[in-house]
Amino acid sequence: MRRTPLFAIAALLTSAIAVGQAQTPAPQPPGTQAPQAPAAGGPPRPRPDPVPPDHLPRPSTTDPRANLKPGGPGVKAAEVAWNMELTSNLPKPEGFFDKDLPLGARPPQRPEGEKPPPPNPNALSYTNSDLAFRDNFMVVGNYHGFNTYNIERANRPQLIASVVCPGGQGDVSIYGNLLFMSVEQTRGRLDCGLQGVAPPVSNERFRGVRIFDITDLKAPKQVAAVQTCRGSHTHTLVPDPKDKSHIFLYASGTGGVRSGEELQGCSTGDPKQNPNTSLFSIDVIEVPLAEPSKSRIVNQPRIFMSDTGNIAGLHAGGDHGPNTQRTSVTNQCHDITVYSEIGLAAGACSGNGILMDIKDPRNPKRLDFVSDPGFAYWHSATFNNDGTKVLFTDEWGGGGRPRCRAVDPLTWGANAIYDIVDGKMIHKGYYKLPAAQGEQENCVAHNGSLIPVPGRDIMVQAWYQGGLSVFDFTDSANVKEIAYFDRGPVNGEVMLSGGYWSTYWYNGNIYGAEMARGIDVFRLKPSEFLTQNEIDAAMQFRLNEFNSQNQPKVIWEPTSAVARAYLDQLQRSKSVDAARYRAASEAMGKTGGRAAIDELEKLAGQFDTDAAKATGADQKRLKALAETLRGRAARLR
């Protein structure tokens, strides 16, 4: 067996609850958050779920994804795909799964009468998490560290190196030769050791953002570790257009606040009694690119402050009335997505969705906030390419519960879509996986990215064991699914966590981080909902780096594929006839000459005239088609 280089070598951890397999945690200090009232003789008893209204729509039980055959030890779960195909599956590398329990195996049964163990904070010890990309390389985050892959041949990813550095959740991002990784669990160590940190106060503990030099992807080196009071559940890279010598990070911590004895300045409590509480803020970290070891927190903005100066000024936690969701208190952000080219950020901040001005990255300013009576936990956000919409996800159940069952509403644990008008967010619609999933499948809205099809707002999104879904939200109020992939549950008898944490489009392929099963790679197939021209146009947009929480602006070159993508869309909506379609398509294929240039400019003028009479998405497409034709003409001159 080929050996994989490891950053730290030690005995593998095993834990009590499974991520496709089961595992045993490193020691933990006493909890830093107030416990729930314990159940008699056992761990804390969860509160009953809120009861949703009967009139809300529910998912389909006749969809091909419903009731797929489950997997188990040595048994492959059933798979189903629509308008896309799986081109590669690469299992987790050695050291990132439990050898003693095969995929899909149940944890050992407790002797009869034995009390259940307390909740295990390290239950996800080998879980794959987020993805980041640079050139022909991909980094897969994991609660146990991260793995680097060569994806030059997308259908045959090759493992480069494994870095063992536990601490969860291991979200990663890349900027040049620097890799950033979020660490939140109290077992995290400065030295990346596996032994954990037992004392409640220790100078060996690390919670925050690690920084690695990945100049040599075969041997990443930790060059900095920025400690934060709540650790870093996620982080977002934020470039400063006015300062190329630094990069900023918005670090979002969702864990308990550590003791001020361990990290100076940390404290918790009600802001009315403690205005310096480490709750109700994010951490802005400044990274000097030439000397990342000098990275430091430069601001902790109170982005939830009310107009009257209350730093706990947004949702206080709790429901919104009868038959509504029980929404988390807004004292943290789970994820922040920045769109630097337009100076905006969207924060999915537990109890609210917020819109921020980030023209000064050191000092983000809240512009607007929204709430939703069906949202439990505002989790992540995605802008459309125009920056005129933002989509927020609701991680109802925290990702470890079955929330796509036939009884679960299509507006709970879903996406909410808002149009952005004059700096304000206006709710337009919802989208949730339309296929019912079973009791053994953790399922809820999770991480995704845009697919760069010109003229349309299309996104691919992970739904844990609900699989992945590709949908069109060009019409914010009428979202349509256009492709999907799903597997049966990891185990058909008990719920073992698995499924997609993240699914992202990168340079022509869709990559999925499967929590338990490894890495999947997909390609889209043409259909009545997405033509080959539209796929070709999307594939022509290439990036040198991609971190989903730092959205790039897509600018399409004036190519034949792009023009034909617009033409296909206009033909689909019956806004262009066959003769005009043929004329424009043929004109884009010509390679030179005065006549070709004149024809392109003439057609561009005609489409401009049509655009003046059109509305909505077709108006934008007609204008963009005219610009593409003129761009082609300019290149022929």
The full 3-state SS of 90-143, as one line of letters, equals ECCCCCCCCCCCCCCCCCCCCCCCCCCCCCCCCCCCCCEEEEEEECCEEEEEEC
Distance, in Å, from the CA atom of 586 to the CA atom of 574, rounded to the nearest integer, reads 19
Residue 464: predicted pLDDT: 98
- Residue 232: its H or E element: none
pLDDT in tens, 251-285: 999 999 999 999 999 999 999 999 999 999 999 99
State mean pLDDT over 57-65: 98
pLDDT in tens, 201-259: 999 999 999 999 999 999 999 999 999 999 999 999 999 989 999 999 999 999 999 99
- Residue 636: its H or E element: helix 616-636
Q: Which residue has the higher pLDDT, 44 or 624?
A: 624
Distance, in Å, from the CA atom of 85 to the CA atom of 38, rounded to the nearest integer, reads 47
CB-based contacts of 598, cutoff 8 Å, min separation 6: none
State mean pLDDT over 460-472: 99
Residue ranges of alpha helices (H) inside 181-250 are none
Helix (H, G, I), strand (E, B) or coil at 612: helix
Distance, in Å, from the CA atom of 418 to the CA atom of 26, rounded to the nearest integer, reads 43
Residue with tokens 């620097």, as numbered in its chain: 178
Confidence of residue 98 (pLDDT cuts 50, 70, 90): confident
pLDDT in tens, 372-424: 999 999 999 999 999 999 999 999 999 999 999 999 999 999 999 999 999 99
pLDDT in tens, 482-527: 999 999 999 999 999 999 999 999 999 999 999 999 999 999 999 9
Residue with tokens 């338990």, as numbered in its chain: 516
Is the pLDDT at 173 greater than 60? The verdict is yes
pLDDT in tens, 126-150: 999 999 999 999 999 999 999 999 9
* Cis bond upstream, residue 21 (ω within 30): no
> Are 374 and 326 in contact, with CB atoms under 8 Å apart?
no
Is the pLDDT at 64 greater than 60? The verdict is yes
Domain ranges of the chain: 14-27+65-544, 560-636
22, 102, 451, 552 from 548: Cα distances, Å:
30, 32, 12, 9
| Radius of gyration, CA atoms only, the chain | 25
Nearest Cα to 185, choosing from 128, 118, 277, 123? 123
Is the pLDDT at 20 greater than 60? The verdict is no
Nearest Cα to 235, choosing from 250, 224, 256, 257? 250
> Are 122 and 26 in contact, with CB atoms under 8 Å apart?
yes
Distance, in Å, from the CA atom of 340 to the CA atom of 557, rounded to the nearest integer, reads 21
14-27+65-544 homologous superfamily: YVTN repeat-like/Quinoprotein amine dehydrogenase (2.130.10.10)
Residue 117: predicted pLDDT: 66
pLDDT in tens, 28-52: 333 333 334 334 444 455 678 899 9
In single-letter form, the type of residue at position 36 comes to Q
Residues in the chain: 637
Question: Taking the chain, what is the end-to-end CA distance rounded to the nearest angstrom?
Answer: 58
Over the chain, what is the mean pLDDT? 92
Distance, in Å, from the CA atom of 73 to the CA atom of 187, rounded to the nearest integer, reads 30
